[in-house]
């Protein structure tokens, strides 16, 4: 099989420690990487850090340390969180890596040689926090802080040259920008003439960046530098076979805040160098606290570490994946977290598991019972499981993650109802065979559910599979082996009070 899947997260600024928003995109990418890996695709999952630019230089200055030192201090904040969250990335790119810098300079040289970079004096309003020249109109909108008038000689990328080709590409490739309302947003933006992009910063003002290969008095604009990580990591210009194996990326996952840079700057840069465009740029919504975006400046960020320490990694992963409809905003509240946990995980999933294993231990010497000939109701569940598997996989491929998860919970809740109705604990002594059939059915349903949910909750589902000694990753009915002795276990999802 030669199918490959390459997924990326944005590379995060190291000006501050990660919060739940950063954790969200990274878990999301991890879930898809695990899903495709399990489906037999060779998978490459990239995340990393954006270490250059004004924001980082400023953060270092505030602490009175060099930007290098600041980055070294910040890197573990991210890598340790990813470890804690069981992020299975295949590479971790830092824009201060030599391998990355080389590619950025190589691309700059290529764009320069092709005539797509020119020098010009520009006078305009500059937003320090946004790190770019802004229009008068933008300046009127009060949310830009630190605006100053700047007159500067800089280098510009002829982005405008590619406006028509970009529009054509977006129109011809319906999956290029997803979801569709984001695609329409970009097409709307492209109705107006596209400006060229200022891609340099004079060192006199900012020196924490990659030097322009054709003028050492300047460093590269942080976005022109950062976007290139997606090709520098898989080895553009260095390792041709490796690069060819992964590029074009299957998905660039991003938050809606950085859509323009990804859907306009990045593709036009690639067009200029003649590199294929990524297959899909997928923008998700924001996690909101009440009605505003979670952000450091608003002082309303949720620290993922606290949440993990209080409730466990997998429940946090589950909640974030279950609660956000991909593409829309979602509100984060600890109350909602607890109630989701209790209803989906503790009451349905965890409770069914405890019931099943307790009965097996008490009445079947701890051995998985024989299913024998399944009755009508058992067959109904078996059929439901096979349509669940189909729909789940289909929805995952369509990036409808929350719907896929909902189906698994619905299924488990149905199996719970079946257990209630059958109540095998009432007749296990009189009809051991029939009770065994019910328990086999419930246990097998739990196993299938665990296999499906394993990309979302890799740890807890592994515990469940271990209990039944089901190392099988097989999704289909019949994976449990009758006679197997089940393992003792603690409650998988103890109720939160």
Nearest-CA neighbor of 251 among 25, 84, 454, 13? 25
Which DSSP symbol is given to 256? Answer: G
Phi-psi region of 14 (alpha: psi -120 to 50; beta: other; left: phi over 0): alpha
Cβ proximity to ligand MSP: between 77 and 84 the closer is: 77
Task: Name residues contacting ligand MSP, limited to 50-69 (CB under 6 A).
Answer: 50
Residue whose beta carbon is closest to ligand MSP: 21
Q: Please report whether residue 103 would count as binding ligand MSP according to CB under 6 A.
A: no
DSSP 466-494: HHTT------SS--S-TTPBPPP---SSP
As a whole number of angstroms, the distance between CA 220 and CA 199 comes to: 6
Q: Please report whether residue 126 would count as binding ligand MSP according to CB under 6 A.
A: no
Q: Please report whether residue 294 would count as binding ligand MSP according to CB under 6 A.
A: yes
Shortest distance in whole angstroms from residue 462 CB to ligand MSP = 27
Region near ligand MSP per CB under 6 A, out of 16-24, 156-164, 357-365, 441-449 = 16-24
**Count of positions (residues) in the chain:** 497
Among 5, 6, 13, 156, binds ligand MSP (CB under 6 A): 13
Cβ proximity to ligand MSP: between 401 and 470 the closer is: 401
Cβ proximity to ligand MSP: between 263 and 360 the closer is: 263
Q: How far is CA 444 from CA 77, 329, 440, 441, in A?
A: 40, 36, 6, 5
Task: Name residues contacting ligand MSP, limited to 396-455 (CB under 6 A).
Answer: none
Partners of 220 in beta bridges: 200
Among 5, 6, 24, 411, binds ligand MSP (CB under 6 A): 24
- Is the dihedral angle over the CA atoms 402, 405, 411, 417 positive or is it negative? negative
Among 5, 12, 155, 208, binds ligand MSP (CB under 6 A): 12
Q: Please report whether residue 287 would count as binding ligand MSP according to CB under 6 A.
A: yes
Rg of the chain, C-alpha, whole Å: 26
CB 289 within 8 A of CB 331: yes
Q: Please report whether residue 257 would count as binding ligand MSP according to CB under 6 A.
A: yes
Shortest distance in whole angstroms from residue 262 CB to ligand MSP = 7
Site string for ligand MSP, 219-238 (x = CB under 6 A): -------xx-x---------
Region near ligand MSP per CB under 6 A, out of 82-90, 152-160, 254-262, 343-351 = 254-262
Region near ligand MSP per CB under 6 A, out of 18-26, 67-75, 140-148, 410-418 = 18-26
Shortest distance in whole angstroms from residue 94 CB to ligand MSP = 12
Q: Please report whether residue 74 would count as binding ligand MSP according to CB under 6 A.
A: no
Region near ligand MSP per CB under 6 A, out of 199-207, 286-294, 310-318, 475-483 = 286-294
Cβ proximity to ligand MSP: between 307 and 352 the closer is: 307
As a whole number of angstroms, the distance between CA 367 and CA 364 comes to: 5
CB 220 within 8 A of CB 199: yes
Among 31, 254, 360, 404, binds ligand MSP (CB under 6 A): 254
As a whole number of angstroms, the distance between CA 24 and CA 13 comes to: 15
As a whole number of angstroms, the distance between CA 197 and CA 123 comes to: 14
Shortest distance in whole angstroms from residue 364 CB to ligand MSP = 47
Task: Name residues contacting ligand MSP, limited to 258-277 (CB under 6 A).
Answer: 258
Burial class (CB in 10 A: 0-12, 13-18, 19+), 471: exposed
Shortest distance in whole angstroms from residue 359 CB to ligand MSP = 43
Nearest-CA neighbor of 355 among 415, 411, 429, 433? 415
Q: Please report whether residue 22 would count as binding ligand MSP according to CB under 6 A.
A: yes
CB 18 within 8 A of CB 55: no
Site string for ligand MSP, 453-482 (x = CB under 6 A): ------------------------------
Q: Please report whether residue 21 would count as binding ligand MSP according to CB under 6 A.
A: yes
Contacts of residue 352, defined as CB under 8 A and 6 or more positions apart, other chains included, come to: 412, 415, 416, 419, 442, 445, 446
Shortest distance in whole angstroms from residue 383 CB to ligand MSP = 38
Nearest-CA neighbor of 407 among 283, 327, 331, 322? 322
Region near ligand MSP per CB under 6 A, out of 111-119, 207-215, 253-261, 440-448 = 253-261
Longest Cα–Cα distance in the chain? 91
Contacts of residue 166, defined as CB under 8 A and 6 or more positions apart, other chains included, come to: 190, 264, 267, 268, 271
Among 242, 293, 361, 462, binds ligand MSP (CB under 6 A): 293
As a whole number of angstroms, the distance between CA 457 and CA 466 comes to: 14
Instruction: List residues binding ligand MSP (CB under 6 A).
Output: 10-13, 21-22, 24-25, 50, 226-227, 229, 254-255, 257-258, 286-287, 293-294
């Amino acid at each position: 099989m030669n199918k490959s899947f390459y997924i990326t997260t944005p590379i995060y600024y190291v000006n501050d420690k990660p919060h739940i928003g950063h954790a969200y995109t990274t878990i999301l990418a991890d879930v898809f990487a695990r899903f495709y890996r399990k489906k037999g695709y060779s998978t490459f999952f990239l995340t990393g850090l954006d270490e250059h630019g004004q924001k980082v230089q400023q953060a270092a200055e505030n602490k009175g340390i060099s930007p290098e030192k600041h980055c070294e201090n910040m890197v573990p904040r991210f890598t340790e969180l990813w470890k804690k969250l069981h992020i299975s990335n295949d590479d971790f790119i830092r824009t201060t890596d030599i391998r990355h810098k080389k590619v950025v300079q190589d691309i700059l040289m290529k764009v320069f040689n092709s005539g797509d970079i020119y020098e010009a004096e520009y006078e305009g309003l500059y937003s320090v926090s946004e790190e770019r020249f802004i229009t008068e109109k933008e300046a009127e909108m009060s949310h830009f802080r630190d605006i100053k008038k700047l007159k500067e000689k800089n280098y510009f990328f002829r982005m405008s040259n590619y406006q028509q080709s970009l529009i054509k590409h977006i129109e011809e490739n319906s999956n290029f920008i997803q979801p569709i309302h984001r695609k329409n947003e970009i097409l709307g933006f492209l109705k107006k003439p596209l400006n060229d992009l200022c891609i340099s910063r004079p060192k006199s003002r900012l020196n924490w960046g990659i030097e322009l290969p054709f003028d050492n008095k300047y460093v590269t604009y942080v976005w022109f530098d950062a976007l290139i990580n997606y090709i520098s990591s898989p080895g553009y210009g260095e390792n041709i076979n490796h690069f060819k194996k992964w590029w074009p990326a299957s998905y660039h996952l991003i938050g809606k805040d950085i859509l323009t840079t990804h859907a306009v700057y990045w593709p036009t840069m690639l067009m200029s160098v003649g590199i294929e465009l990524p297959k899909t740029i997928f923008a998700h919504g924001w996690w909101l606290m009440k009605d505003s975006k979670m952000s450091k400046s608003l002082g309303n960020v949720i620290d993922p570490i606290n949440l993990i320490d209080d409730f466990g990694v997998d429940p946090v992963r589950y909640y974030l994946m279950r609660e956000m409809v991909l593409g829309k905003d979602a509100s984060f509240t600890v109350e909602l977290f607890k109630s989701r946990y209790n209803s989906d995980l503790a009451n349905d999933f965890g409770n069914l598991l405890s019931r099943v294993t307790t009965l097996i231990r008490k009445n079947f010497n701890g051995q998985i019972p024989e299913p024998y000939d399944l009755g009508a109701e058992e067959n109904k569940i078996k059929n439901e499981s096979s349509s669940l598997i189909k729909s789940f996989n289909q929805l995952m491929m369509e990036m409808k993650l929350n719907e896929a998860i909902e189906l698994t919970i619905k299924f488990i809740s149905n199996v719970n109802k079946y257990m209630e109705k059958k109540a095998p604990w009432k007749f296990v002594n009189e009809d051991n065979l029939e009770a065994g059939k019910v328990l086999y059915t419930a246990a097998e349903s739990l196993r299938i559910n665990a296999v499906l949910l394993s990309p979302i909750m890799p740890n807890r589902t592994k515990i469940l599979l271990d209990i039944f000694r089901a190392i099988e990753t097989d999704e289909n009915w019949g994976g449990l082996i009758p006679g197997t002795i089940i393992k003792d276990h603690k409650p998988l999802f103890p109720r939160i009070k």
